[in-house]
Structure 1
Amino acid sequence: MRDDDVDEVVAAMGARIAAARERRGDTLTDVSRATGIPLSTLSRVENGRRKPNLELLLRLAKAYDTPLNELAGTAPAAAREACGPPRRRPSSDKAVLPLTRFVGGLHAHKHVLPATGDQPSRPRQSSHEGHEWLCVLSGRLWLALGEHDLVLTAGEVAEFDTRTPHGVANAGSGGPVEYLVMFGPQGERLRPRVTADSGPLRGA
């Protein structure tokens, strides 16, 4: 494996770990209680601010009933197919595609929630340090943010502090929901340089 490949695997590891947790429908608090790993450590690993060591990966692989090399992203394609998908709860069968490869700072992922024929229950919420921007590409996304419930459609954007309890679900039965997520450390925010109405901002 080349150095570039190693960097890419490590950079995407947090997203894979988060996806494995979400497929089971577990919150960070659930995993912390089951594994003994501090909640703050789990949060930093998932958002790319900490590289997981072998002991942590072993604990998570056991908790998620997932082969270690699959969780780490080093399993050959044939081995991943042979192992099959990890156990999951039907309502949380979500695909996550990392779009950035560097650990730390802002990073982005594309998420796809499959179509469901059932009326979804209110999304399970979790909270952690950080700041998130969410943009819906297609479908209808139910965002439960604190005590508020929002349905976002294509082109709509939400920005929030992830210390606020939050969760998402497919709000419609007509098809999947695709959306982009950008996540940054606490206090990190997007800084517009150009606006549609006024052009380049002063000082740009």
Structure 2
Amino acid sequence: MEFENDIEIDRLLGQRLKAARQRHGLTLDAVAERSGVSRAMISRVERGESSPTAALLVRLGSGLGLSLSALLEDAGTGPLARRAAQPVWRDPASGYLRRNVSPRGTGSGFEIVEVELPAGAEVRLDSAQGAPALDQQIWVLQGRLDLTVEGVRHDLAEGDCLQMHLRGPIIYRNPGATPVRYAVILAASSGAFPGHIA
């Protein structure tokens, strides 16, 4: 399920962020402090007046204890997630395409995400302060991926799989002339996914 247009996804993301903030009984100021994102930016995102980047959504999501998957998906799908129904989102800054592959609402302790990173593109992510560490594996399906995790660089070729306990900054970069496709398998922490994306 691809979103109809950027305005629709911006509005939906804003509604979900606001609902999560209110569910947790948090003010805009509290989320700003937890996420490191300004109060004004959070307000613009909640009103659907800003097209948030992957980096911004990761920080906001982790400040609220939500993964990007949780922000992009509807309610549970049951044990089968057909490809046509899997939520797809494109980062407005890098152009990377993210597909939530795993069925939702099953109580499973992990999730699978498929990513296509355009040639020459780069995505820099950092979770909010105090967000729990994330256990994940990156499996390159096609192309090459230059991955820097907490300052340590890894050059991954097709078929390579890297496991990491992510606690800090990460940079995904496609050094090639064609898109790179990779799968990310994320393990739940305390029954919920922290806010990192892949």
- TM-score scaled by length of structure 1: 0.49
Out of 96, 110, 115, the residue aligned to residue 111 of structure 1 is 115
Is structure 2 residue 163 aligned with structure 1 residue 159?
A: yes
1:131·1:185 contact (CA, 8 Å) conserved in 2?
Answer: yes
Q: Distance in 2 between matches of 1:111 and 1:170?
A: 12
Q: What is the percentage of aligned positions where both structures have the same residue?
A: 24
Out of 141, 155, 161, the residue aligned to residue 137 of structure 1 is 141
Q: How does 1:80-119 map to 2 (within 5 A)?
A: 88-89=92-93, 92-103=94-105, 105-116=109-120
Q: Distance in 1 between matches of 2:153 and 2:91?
A: 29
- TM-score scaled by length of structure 2: 0.51
Aligned to 1:178: 181
Aligned to 1:124: 124
Alignment RMSD, CA only?
A: 3.8
Aligned to 1:44: 66
Q: Distance in 1 between matches of 2:135 and 2:160?
A: 17
2:140·2:159 contact (CA, 8 Å) conserved in 1?
Answer: yes
Paired residue total:
127
1:32·1:38 contact (CA, 8 Å) conserved in 2?
Answer: no
| Unpaired segments ≥5 residues, structure 2 | 2-8, 14-33, 44-58, 76-88, 192-198
1:35 partner letter? I
Q: Give the match's secondary structure for 1:124.
A: strand
C-alpha distance after superposition, 1:24-54 (max 9, x if no partner): xxxx946565317966444424254xxx6xx
| Unpaired segments ≥5 residues, structure 1 | 6-12, 18-27, 53-70, 75-84, 189-204
C-alpha distance after superposition, 1:46-68 (max 9, x if no partner): 254xxx6xxxxxxxxxxxxxxxx
